Chain A
Amino acid sequence: MTSMEMAHFPILSTILLSTVLGLLVILFIPADRPKLIKQVSLGFAGLGLVLCLWLYQAYDLQKGGLQFVERFLWVESLGIYYFNAVDGINLPMLLLTAVVLFTGVWTMWDLELRVKEFFALVFLLVAGVYGVFMSMDLFWIFVWYDVSLFPMYPLIAIWGSTRKEYGAMKLTLYLLAGSALILPGILYLWAQAGGVTFDLFELQKIGFSPFAQKLAFIFFYIGFGILAAVWPLHTWSPVGHVAAPTAVSMIHAGVLMKLGAYGILRLGMTLCPEGLAYWADLMALLGTVGIVYGAFVGLAQTDLKYVIGYSSVSHMGMVGLGLSTMTVNGINGAVFQMFAHGVMTALFFSAVGYIYDRTHTKMIPDLGGLSRTMPVASAFFIVAAFSGIGVPCMASFWAELLVFLSAVKTYPVRGILAVFGLVVSALFMLRVVQRTFYGERNERWAHIPDVPLFLATPRIILVSIIIFFGIFPKLMLDVIQSAVIPFVGSL
């Protein structure tokens, strides 16, 4: 590739710019006009969504490989490129980010505290997320990765609840400790390659020594694994989810955690295939433990957000297990699960968010019989719960099916254990649904109105996406496969 390459409209940079521009516009609106700030935020989030949808349909399945490439030399002496592109792996992630941002902003329509700063920070965070997903240069991946992490601290510490300062600090330190491993990993590979390029695909061609691959892979696996909530590095995750406000929980569990899994896949697996082969066994083991552990701990929770937090640990375990199989089905399933879990968790948190905003409690014993007081709000949670269990006609059904099929084949014992974990997770989800939405009605909440149409809309969008891709999984699997098949072939 030449140092400059771009013969088309820079759609990826425009997507990135939609958040940066949104951020700047928000900064220039006076803080005493919260309504305008919300409208502008929704407008820019919507713009990002439209662009991502266009990108998704414009992606050429036949051609596969990298598309919409934008590549400029940035720092010559170090070989840093501003290099954006999409393939079948990051395209679904970009779409996911756009969906979650759009619905997340909409969900926070009732926010009153320091509105301007909230949305500015959310846009900064999402700029980082978009950046990681579209960058193909290790330097930029790392930069955007850190940009997406540090707004989490104020977002949780100012607008959060339940031990918010502790949660925010724990989360920030954990995640940045992760990045403290990623940077040496990146620089190590760069130095091994002669210190001439950070271009992911140039580095991929080099073929590092087995030792370098094993070493770098474990850096990436632990570093990104913290964000992906790989057991036992997950402890920040339930605490952080519980402390965060609704939209931040949505973005965080829905999108940010996927950055971790994506990083393992994009940096660890792509650059260090031999490292992957060496550590795959451990990855599978930790993935399985995560699935079973998350399910069992979820069983014992009484706080709705903790339930979702631990179910996330379990579901992200599936992503790890899928990736560790090194098969087309396994990786397909893992990437699809990243998307499905993102939408599903966003729905989960937005459903709980509404309930919490009205009742000021998220403790299961305090709720009860909610489906009679607020049937629509309850329905959102129930749909998300079904999706979490992997009921057919939901996007996650296909994802989990693919992961388990390949896991049972590759790692029989662990695969079966993981399926067992799924059964436990079904048990705890149904228990939560039963105790929170059915059963005896708590009269304290009898007067609470159901979710109005305006606030229901973002949740309806999320439900529609879950069901849409549940019925037409091919629309996503074909895209994912276009990148995964050549990748597995090269392993």
Chain B
Amino acid sequence: MMKWVLFIPELYYLLMAVVFFACSLSRRLQSGVLYRWAVILAGGGLLATVLAVNQNGFIFFDCYRVDLYSQLFKILLALGTFWVIFSCSELQGIDSRYHAEFFLLTTVCTLGMMMLVSANELLTVYVSIELSSYSLYLLVPMRKQTEIYVETGIKYFMIGVTASAFMLFGISFIFGVAHTTYVPDLVKTLPSLIKEPAAIIGLVLTLCGFFFKQALFPFHSWAPDVYMGAANQVTTYIATASKMAAAAMVIRFVNLSGGESPLFTQVLVGLAVLSMTFGNLVAIIQKDLKRLLAYSSIAHAGYMMIGILTMSEHGVASAIYYSAAYLVMNFACFMVIMKVADDGRNLQIKELAGLHKRSPLLAMTLMLGLFGLAGIPPTVGFTGKFLVFAAALRKGYLILVIIGMINATISLYYYLIVIKAAYLLEPERPYPDVRVDTWTRALSYGLIVLMIYLGVFPDQFVALTEAAARSLP
């Protein structure tokens, strides 16, 4: 009976989903009241997840594993969800009738992803990923101007189900080769079986599903359209919280091979290089800020892969650090998008003109977020890249690191264009004022402090990620 304690964060989110479900049935609830309750509940969820950080053990016939690795990612998920819900005071992009549904689906998606990071068995993985995916498929077309963006939802759904079909196919291969679906058993058996083509094919196909979530090249094609087509808040959620679950699963599954197959590693190296280069080169020509960040996310999936493909403890720790850093920096950028375009429109880069006068604080948050994404010290993004590259060089991937650094330099170009718009350009026409309430102000300060603090004093967090990496099966 005591084992249910391990499931508390998930139970909390399940309960939260039930509350929102009830809210969605009532049409009398005001948006403001709903928002306030959503923030309080999401805050409680974050608290519950943080309190559960030291839990350890197995439940549900060992299908479910709770360890530091999973708990750390759950905290990142809860944090991302809390931030997104917190900044939803203006849910202008979504019809007010659906606000309760928005919170409901976000919560269910978070629940699915939390289960995903703890899933210890392939079918549980599959069920969890579908639970989270279907919520997202519904969230994306929720936008007000559905007629313009209807294609987005269909595209996302079609590509998504194709990826999950591939994944299921891959899982069947793995089961066929290893005769087990339990991850700890796979960790033991797969490295010796990895020379067999069926094992490699199975692993790669399974990873396809996660690469899709992570938007790694060539599984990225949905990202730019979905980022642009979904409401700003939904995009923020997809770009931040949902990326954490993807990163967690990619790390876990890549490590299944145990680094025993040079071919598999080469495939990953190729994907990392292509993803970084493609994402960065295409981002240069973007005019829409969300689209630009979508391409930048493709590039970042590549950087993260550099750490992951080393398949070492340091590599895993660096990838965890990197994904946490990415959550903070990316959220900072998206929060600025949400606040500047508070009527729910898509934000063009040129619309940022003169932001430093309209809201110095948001301009500063955006600048630090972008500098972080570009990997400029002393931000958390720099430390993340540094750790990832250090882990790769421990394994001797010098060329890969050089390619990564060249890519970081390319990326700086388009990040600078955005910063230039915010700080240097004069607006072509007067843009509406940016309203920054006290809570947003506090969140901005918090993000700024976090981005710099984690960058300059990474020691404790690095130790935590290393401990989490050690707890991987």
A187 at the interface (CB under 8 A from B): yes
Do A172 and B462 touch across chains, with their CB atoms under 8 A apart? Answer: no
Stretch in contact with the other chain, from B75-83, B128-136, B394-402: B394-402
B59 at the interface (CB under 8 A from A): no
Do B382 and A146 touch across chains, with their CB atoms under 8 A apart? Answer: yes
A6 at the interface (CB under 8 A from B): no
Given A75-B459, A77-B463, A181-B405, are A157 and B393 also a contact pair (CB < 8 Å)? no
Binary contact track B376-393/A, C-beta < 8 Å → 1, others 0 = 111000100011011001
Chain B residues contacting A183 (CB-CB under 8 Å) are 386, 389, 401, 405
CB distance from B160 to the nearest CB of A (A): 36
CA distance A179 to B376 in the complex (A): 10
Q: Which of A44-87 contact B (CB under 8 A)?
A: 74-78
A184 at the interface (CB under 8 A from B): yes
CB distance from B222 to the nearest CB of A (A): 30
Do B406 and A177 touch across chains, with their CB atoms under 8 A apart? Answer: yes
Do B463 and A173 touch across chains, with their CB atoms under 8 A apart? Answer: no
Report the nearest B residue to A149, measured CB to CB: B376
CB distance from A25 to the nearest CB of B (A): 17
Scoring A153, A184, A187 by chain B CB atoms within 10 A of each residue's CB, the highest score goes to: A184
Given A75-B459, A143-B377, A150-B371, are A173 and B390 also a contact pair (CB < 8 Å)? no
Q: Which of B354-384 contact A (CB under 8 A)?
A: 371, 376-378, 382
B104 at the interface (CB under 8 A from A): no
Binary contact track A429-446/B, C-beta < 8 Å → 1, others 0 = 000000000000000000
Given A150-B371, A190-B393, A191-B390, are A142 and B402 also a contact pair (CB < 8 Å)? no
Chain A residues contacting B371 (CB-CB under 8 Å) are 150
Do A180 and B408 touch across chains, with their CB atoms under 8 A apart? Answer: yes
Report the nearest A residue to B407, measured CB to CB: A180
B413 at the interface (CB under 8 A from A): yes
Q: Which of A26-58 contact B (CB under 8 A)?
A: none
CA distance A157 to B398 in the complex (A): 34
Report the nearest A residue to B466, measured CB to CB: A77
B420 at the interface (CB under 8 A from A): yes
Do A187 and B412 touch across chains, with their CB atoms under 8 A apart? Answer: no
Do A169 and B416 touch across chains, with their CB atoms under 8 A apart? Answer: yes
Chain A residues contacting B398 (CB-CB under 8 Å) are 184, 188
CA distance A139 to B377 in the complex (A): 11
A473 at the interface (CB under 8 A from B): no
Q: Interface SS of chain A: helix, strand, loop or mixed?
A: helix
CA distance A183 to B389 in the complex (A): 9
Do A75 and B458 touch across chains, with their CB atoms under 8 A apart? Answer: yes
Chain A residues contacting B394 (CB-CB under 8 Å) are 191, 195
CA distance A184 to B398 in the complex (A): 7
Q: Which of A101-139 contact B (CB under 8 A)?
A: 139
Chain B residues contacting A139 (CB-CB under 8 Å) are 386
For chain B, which range describes its interface: under 10, 10 to 19, 20 to 34, or 35 or more residues?
A: 20 to 34
A461 at the interface (CB under 8 A from B): no
A165 at the interface (CB under 8 A from B): yes
Chain B residues contacting A169 (CB-CB under 8 Å) are 413, 416
CB distance from B461 to the nearest CB of A (A): 10
CB distance from A479 to the nearest CB of B (A): 30
Given A74-B459, A187-B401, are A172 and B416 also a contact pair (CB < 8 Å)? yes
Neighbour of B376 across the interface among A75, A150, A177, CB < 8 A: A150
Chain B residues contacting A75 (CB-CB under 8 Å) are 458-459, 462
CB distance from B331 to the nearest CB of A (A): 22
Do B423 and A154 touch across chains, with their CB atoms under 8 A apart? Answer: yes
B162 at the interface (CB under 8 A from A): no
A363 at the interface (CB under 8 A from B): no
CA distance A147 to B452 in the complex (A): 13
Given A146-B382, A177-B406, A191-B394, are A76 and B389 also a contact pair (CB < 8 Å)? no
Given A75-B462, A157-B424, A187-B390, are A142 and B396 also a contact pair (CB < 8 Å)? no
A16 at the interface (CB under 8 A from B): no
Do B409 and A180 touch across chains, with their CB atoms under 8 A apart? Answer: yes
Chain A residues contacting B393 (CB-CB under 8 Å) are 184, 187-188, 190-191
CA distance A176 to B462 in the complex (A): 26
Binary contact track A157-180/B, C-beta < 8 Å → 1, others 0 = 110000001000100110011011
CA distance A188 to B377 in the complex (A): 19
Report the nearest B residue to A150, measured CB to CB: B376
Chain A residues contacting B458 (CB-CB under 8 Å) are 75
CB distance from A5 to the nearest CB of B (A): 18
CB distance from A283 to the nearest CB of B (A): 21
CA distance A78 to B371 in the complex (A): 23
Given A75-B462, A154-B424, A195-B394, are A187 and B409 also a contact pair (CB < 8 Å)? no
Given A75-B458, A191-B394, are A177 and B409 also a contact pair (CB < 8 Å)? yes
Nearest 6 pairs between A and B by C-beta? A180-B405, A191-B393, A143-B377, A187-B393, A180-B409, A177-B409
What are 28 of the A-B contact pairs (CB < 8 Å)?
A75-B458, A75-B459, A75-B462, A77-B462, A77-B466, A139-B386, A143-B382, A147-B378, A153-B419, A154-B423, A154-B424, A158-B423, A158-B424, A165-B424, A169-B413, A176-B409, A176-B412, A177-B406, A177-B409, A180-B409, A183-B401, A184-B393, A187-B389, A187-B393, A190-B390, A191-B393, A191-B394, A195-B390
